[in-house]
Amino acid sequence: EAGVAQSPRYKIIEKRQSVAFWCNPISGHATLYWYQQILGQGPKLLIQFQNNGVVDDSQLPKDRFSAERLKGVDSTLKIQPAKLEDSAVYLCASSLDYRGPGNTEAFFGQGTRLTVV
Amino acid sequence: RKEVEQDPGPFNVPEGATVAFNCTYSNSASQSFFWYRQDCRKEPKLLMSVYSSGNEDGRFTAQLNRASQYISLLIRDSKLSDSATYLCVVIHSGGYQKVTFGTGTKLQVIP
């Protein structure tokens, strides 16, 4: 079974530039998550999708971050404009369906390491 | 108070030792609990779920104490390969499932 695919693996940009990350979840997984993990910290949920709908974006800095999952499959996360404090690993994860207690295991992609200089 | 709290460590233990990590959570309505393992510069991976009755998987034992709102992970006979960061995950369902990670506890097993 193919895992969660993310690209790019690494990205270096200057502050105030824009950047986009792509995620393709495991086939059939309805729930998709984007996390931000700053060095030395645990993953912080940015946004959670159920199919193509947003169920939680309370911690997404909406003035600069946006995400979409138009067809309920793959997703993109965008930062515009980037700040130095956005330097982190951006992890995408998916699970079968968050509504089922037996289906809540989240599978993670390898992440995109963003450095803002 | 943070929703999920863990001692960041690092815990430096010799091979063969037994080590235990605790994780406290603030929302008493939390329903599901997990331990994830994250190796350096890698993505988190599920280690084990935590059930109310406690559960064991080889050298690993997970327990839940709802009254005191904490979960624990016990590792017996530590191996060098156990060196990693252990993340506590708490899921609260209130209309939708909110997944919260702890900051992680770093374990270093020393030869």
Q: Tell me: pLDDT of A7 over 90.
A: yes
Q: How far is the C-alpha of B13 from the C-alpha of A97, rounded, in Å?
A: 38
Residues in a beta bridge with B23: B6, B71
Mean pLDDT of B30-48: 92
Using CA coordinates, name the residue in chain B closest to A42.
Answer: B103
Band of residue A100 on the pLDDT scale cut at 50, 70, 90:
low
Q: Tell me: pLDDT of B52 over 80.
A: yes
State the average pLDDT for chain B.
91
Q: Tell me: pLDDT of B7 over 70.
A: yes
The pLDDT of residue A2: 80
Residue A93 C-alpha, separation from nearest chain B C-alpha, in angstroms: 10
Chain A residues in contact with B46 by the CB 8 A cut-off are 105-107
Query: Is B101's CB within 8 Å of A111's CB?
Result: no
* HEC assignment per residue over A47-61: EEEECCEEEECCCCC
Query: Is B43's CB within 8 Å of A110's CB?
Result: yes
Chain B residues in contact with A105 by the CB 8 A cut-off are 34, 46, 49
Band of residue A92 on the pLDDT scale cut at 50, 70, 90:
very high
Query: Is B31's CB within 8 Å of A105's CB?
Result: no
Mean pLDDT of A30-38: 94
Could you say which of A33, A50, A99 has the minimum Cβ distance to residue B99?
A33
Chain B residues in contact with A23 by the CB 8 A cut-off are none
- Reference A80, options A37, A21, A25; nearest CA is A21
Sign of the C-alpha dihedral computed for residues B51, B53, B57 and B61 taken in this order = positive
Band of residue A14 on the pLDDT scale cut at 50, 70, 90:
very high
Tokens of B43: 């993505």
B interface test, pick of A105, A112, A114, A115 with most B CB neighbours within 10 Å:
A105
Strands annotated E in chain B: 4-6, 11-14, 19-25, 30-38, 45-50, 55-57, 60-65, 70-75, 84-93, 97-101, 105-110
pLDDT digits (tens, 9 = 90+) for A37-84: 999 888 999 999 988 899 889 999 999 999 999 888 999 999 999 999
Mean pLDDT of B88-101: 80
- Reference B75, options B19, B7, B5; nearest CA is B19
Band of residue B71 on the pLDDT scale cut at 50, 70, 90:
very high
